[in-house]
Structure 1
Amino acid sequence: MHIHILGICGTFMGGVAALAREAGHKVTGCDAGVYPPMSDQLRELGIELVEGYGADQMAFNPDVWVIGNVVSRARQPDGRPRYPLMEAILESGARYTSGPQWLAEHVLQGRHVLAVAGTHGKTTTTSMLTWVLEQAGLQPGFLVGGVPLNFGRSARLGSGKCFVIEADEYDTAFFDKRSKFVHYRPRTAVLNNLEFDHADIFDDLAAIERQFHHLVRTVPASGRVVVNGVEESLDRVLHQGCWSEVRSFGAAVSDFTAEGDPSTFDVLQRGERVGRVAWDLSGTHNQLNALAAIAAADHVGVSPAKAAEALGSFQNVRRRMELRGESGGVKVYDDFAHHPTAIRTTLDGLRRKLGTGGGRILAVFEPRSNTMKLGAMKAQLPWSLEQAELSFCHSGGLGWDAREALAPLGDKAQVGDTIDEVVRQVVAAARTGDHVVCMSNGGFGGIHERLLEALAKR
């Protein structure tokens, strides 16, 4: 089968491309404004990439067009379609489908799917769970919205029965407004956490809770729902109905709990010590992610003791507090955090790891997600940045005043309208021993390299 993927460089669609290629299909695709690591991964797989969405790509004449949710029927100011290729596909009557639907029909069918959902930590928890199953010899397939360092790629078919997938609540495609995860039909579903996000497609938290309940509805009676016991929103989801076994984690009365510092802790199952995790990660959020992975792995026969031991060699995911380099005595990190809660937990984890006297934290971020661009969470930004000594915001493209939003931080916050300006601000303020954390769900204009180069010249 020849598939041509529109929006191929997104983390999810890039994973679909990799799986299709591994399965022996011919894969081509197109996108605009691509950036690593996905573009590098696709080129290494020998997948032909086309820049843009020109209608001339109809000449590929694939068996099916696979449409990413970046594609819409939107038009440019002059009236021309923003995605002329999509218009040509519709006019021709050619066969097309969504990425999740293609995946469900050609990869997930007949597998024991373990799906990891949640507002935060999906990528990390999915990677943890995959590594646990790998270490247990189950040879799982997986699709992760990032690149797990233990595997060096975002997706593989795997030869075992299990398939682990990051289950996103964002909508499927312009012609299918259900959440992606409704297509996956998991036997093991992890509900990691849930708060308001994606203000561009959801009106409120209740709307997202309904989508999570749609996921719960697809889990069979012999399946398991693993749920964060401290999240009231997830309690409301389950109270809408649950027909499967439920295992909780995180709360004092949960089935799986932790005792100790997030960097080294005991795992308790209903109060009994059943394993110990000692690893390089930090932060309470990662401790909770670990409990979720352990509870999910238990459902497919991996003991908590073995799961905890496996996590000791877990190497995290690219762009999750990834050290990009050190220059002039200043360390520069890359992190995917873009929601205020994720920003706060990232900085809290680093502060806990550094301890007292471990150096200053300089937070550098861009409100790039659709939710942040709409300003739906701008009031939470000062709270999210409390652990940073200094904060720097790239305000380009925002429809709201970042300076006003960050005013409660006083002289601890600076705003730059361009990335070059932000780089100058950071370099002027940084000193030996500082930790600069760059946070964005995009490429951030290569700011990491620019900072390292500028710090070296200082």
Structure 2
Amino acid sequence: MIKTIHLIAACGTGMGTLACILKEMGYIVSGSDQNVYPPMSDFLNEKGVQLFSGYDPSNLDHAPDLVIIGNAVTKLNVEARAVLQKRIPYLSMPQAVNKFIAKDKKIILVTGTHGKTTTSSIMAHILYAAGMDPSFMIGGILRDFNSSFRIGSGEYMVIEGDEYDTAFFDKGPKFMHYDPDITIMTGIEFDHADIFIDIDHIKRIFSAFVKKIEKDSHIIAFNDNNNLKEILGSCAASVETYGEQAQWSFSNHMQQNSKTFFDVQGPGKAVSIETNLIGRHNLFNCVACMAAANRIGVSDTSIYTALKTFSGIKRRQEIRGIKNGITVMDDFAHHPTAVRETIKAVKPFYKDGRVIAVFEPRTNTSMRNIFQDTYPDSFLDADMVCICEPGVKKKIPPEDKFSTRQLVADIERKGIDAYYFENCDAVIGFLVSKLRPGDLVLIMSNGGFDNIHIKLLEKIG
């Protein structure tokens, strides 16, 4: 009988969330990580999860009944090797999710290169607003729940399905472990250059996933993505599409103050929607969730109420503060497409000021020169751009390394003011002297960016 569970690499988003869920379910939970730092470490400590700093065989001295090993851990990790030597039972993260949380649930899985967290969050909120008491496990903090997870008694569970690899003993993507009742696929682009060779490699992974989906399952796919359309030909499950020219789409898009109004058309369906979300990409996220909700019988009234009351996700167009008429916004955007769509989405709301985009290219993909020629066009809707050297260093061959200075030069050639900075403090010093009331500072990074948001607000104030 399993009573005590230990997680190796416990401070990652997915593993930390899993640790909290297991603790809430009544298990005695501990974890270890090379970098035990806030906010996840604080969150785990608050939940009563014992944390060990650094990896060491002694972290297993309390003899856990089961160890869950995260994908950040290699087979050379001293603690993981001790697990094997001691013959302690172990699982990967998705295996544990299936065993402890999702085994009796109907899974609504959200996959794709972009929009997974937002789409998953909207879906979970719709089910909750409809009184369906859902469970969810998502890679972001939902404002309406102040949590990235929930364990409900309802039959559905929403899971954000990651294409990243599972563990050193399972190099396949995490989403291959789930058997979804409904799958929302938001599109396929190249990303995760540390594990994928090229776009064809990624398409093969998604194709394998589509082929394994049971024929009585259902897929809701973004029709405006050619890579996704290519792989759906081998699908045995039923498919509905959403997009510009698809079975589900939207029209009459209008923005008033901080609200968005639009009409959704689906098979035999026409619904007017109001939401706090902005941007074309977010409206399509809503449409995908509406198609899924319609599939399982959620009423139009419940869908309308849910989208109207959805408060969003932390780090997705999140306003961190307003000082002296200057707005500081945080967003997780890092892929060129996400950067472009995020800037385009916020631009109409700051007509009396400038949109100043601050970008830190710190992902495994953006630190390589794969998108060197693509990134400049992502900033065309910004009025000013600040590019900062990433705060993390990774071993990348010089010939493959992304050049932040080159990006600045390329943006300038397109007629937009762009500036290069070596660190966060340099960005802040520059902005304080340039900002004026009405401006939006849109800070985009998938990391903490040295707490630039709070530091900047303090300096402005």
Q: Which TM-score tier does this pair reach, normalised by the shorter chain?
A: over 0.9
Correspondence list, 1:269-348, <5 A: 269-270=266-267, 272-348=268-344
Correspondence list, 1:242-281, <5 A: 242-252=235-245, 254-261=246-253, 263-270=260-267, 272-281=268-277
- Cα deviation, residue 285, structure 1: 0.3
Name the counterpart of 2:162. Answer: 168
Counterpart of 1:445 in structure 2: which amino acid? Answer: D
Helix, strand or coil for the counterpart of 2:442?
A: strand
Name the counterpart of 2:384. Answer: 390
Name the counterpart of 1:415. Answer: 420
Helix, strand or coil for the counterpart of 2:374?
A: helix
Query: What are the Cα deviations for residues 345-368 of structure 1, in whole angstroms up to 9, with x where unaligned?
Result: 1111001333xx331011112111
Name the counterpart of 2:179. Answer: 185
Tell me, yes or no, if structure 1 residue 131 matches structure 2 residue 133: no
Tell me, yes or no, if structure 1 residue 236 matches structure 2 residue 233: no
Name the counterpart of 2:397. Answer: none
CA distance in 2, matches of 1:238, 1:277: 29
- Cα deviation, residue 445, structure 1: 1.1
Q: 1:198 to 1:152 in 2, by over 3 A?
A: same
Correspondence list, 1:38-57, <5 A: 38-57=40-59
CA distance in 2, matches of 1:267, 1:40: 42
CA distance in 1, matches of 2:5, 2:270: 46
The question of whether the paired residues in 2 share the 8 Å contact of 1:191 and 1:226 is answered with: yes
CA distance in 2, matches of 1:449, 1:384: 26
Helix, strand or coil for the counterpart of 2:176?
A: helix
Q: 1:320 to 1:36 in 2, by over 3 A?
A: farther
**Match for residue 199 of structure 1 among 193, 198, 202:** 193
**Match for residue 370 of structure 1 among 364, 370, 383:** 364
Give unpaired runs (5+ residues) of structure 2.
Answer: 255-259, 395-400
Name the counterpart of 2:12. Answer: 10
Q: 1:308 to 1:234 in 2, by over 3 A?
A: farther
The question of whether the paired residues in 2 share the 8 Å contact of 1:221 and 1:245 is answered with: yes
CA distance in 1, matches of 2:305, 2:207: 33
Counterpart of 2:56 in structure 1: which amino acid? Answer: G
**Match for residue 62 of structure 1 among 46, 61, 64:** 64
Helix, strand or coil for the counterpart of 1:370?
A: coil
**Match for residue 439 of structure 1 among 427, 440, 444:** 444
Q: What RMSD in Å do the two structures reach over aligned CA positions?
A: 1.7
Query: What are the Cα deviations for residues 165-217 of structure 1, in whole angstroms up to 9, with x where unaligned?
Result: 00111111122111100111111011011111111111111211122122223
CA distance in 1, matches of 2:32, 2:432: 37
Q: 1:215 to 1:36 in 2, by over 3 A?
A: farther
Give TM-score, length-normalised by structure 1.
0.93
Name the counterpart of 1:77. Answer: none
Counterpart of 1:196 in structure 2: which amino acid? Answer: F
Tell me, yes or no, if structure 1 residue 451 matches structure 2 residue 448: no
CA distance in 1, matches of 2:270, 2:411: 44
CA distance in 2, matches of 1:178, 1:235: 22
Helix, strand or coil for the counterpart of 1:251?
A: coil
The question of whether the paired residues in 1 share the 8 Å contact of 2:377 and 2:411 is answered with: no
Helix, strand or coil for the counterpart of 2:366?
A: helix
Name the counterpart of 1:428. Answer: 433
The question of whether the paired residues in 1 share the 8 Å contact of 2:165 and 2:172 is answered with: yes
Name the counterpart of 1:379. Answer: 373
CA distance in 2, matches of 1:308, 1:70: 40
CA distance in 2, matches of 1:401, 1:23: 47
Query: What are the Cα deviations for residues 19-73 of structure 1, in whole angstroms up to 9, with x where unaligned?
Result: 2122221111122335555334323322122222233212132111111111124
CA distance in 2, matches of 1:315, 1:439: 20
Q: 1:130 to 1:232 in 2, by over 3 A?
A: same
CA distance in 1, matches of 2:328, 2:370: 29
Name the counterpart of 2:349. Answer: 353
- Cα deviation, residue 133, structure 1: 0.5
- Cα deviation, residue 453, structure 1: 1.4
CA distance in 1, matches of 2:417, 2:377: 13
Counterpart of 2:139 in structure 1: which amino acid? Answer: G
Further displaced range: 203-212 or 135-144: 203-212
Give unpaired runs (5+ residues) of structure 1.
Answer: 74-80
Give TM-score, length-normalised by structure 2.
0.92
Helix, strand or coil for the counterpart of 1:50?
A: strand
Counterpart of 2:266 in structure 1: which amino acid? Answer: Q
Name the counterpart of 1:404. Answer: 406
Tell me, yes or no, if structure 1 residue 217 matches structure 2 residue 214: no
Q: 1:193 to 1:165 in 2, by over 3 A?
A: same
Q: 1:363 to 1:35 in 2, by over 3 A?
A: farther
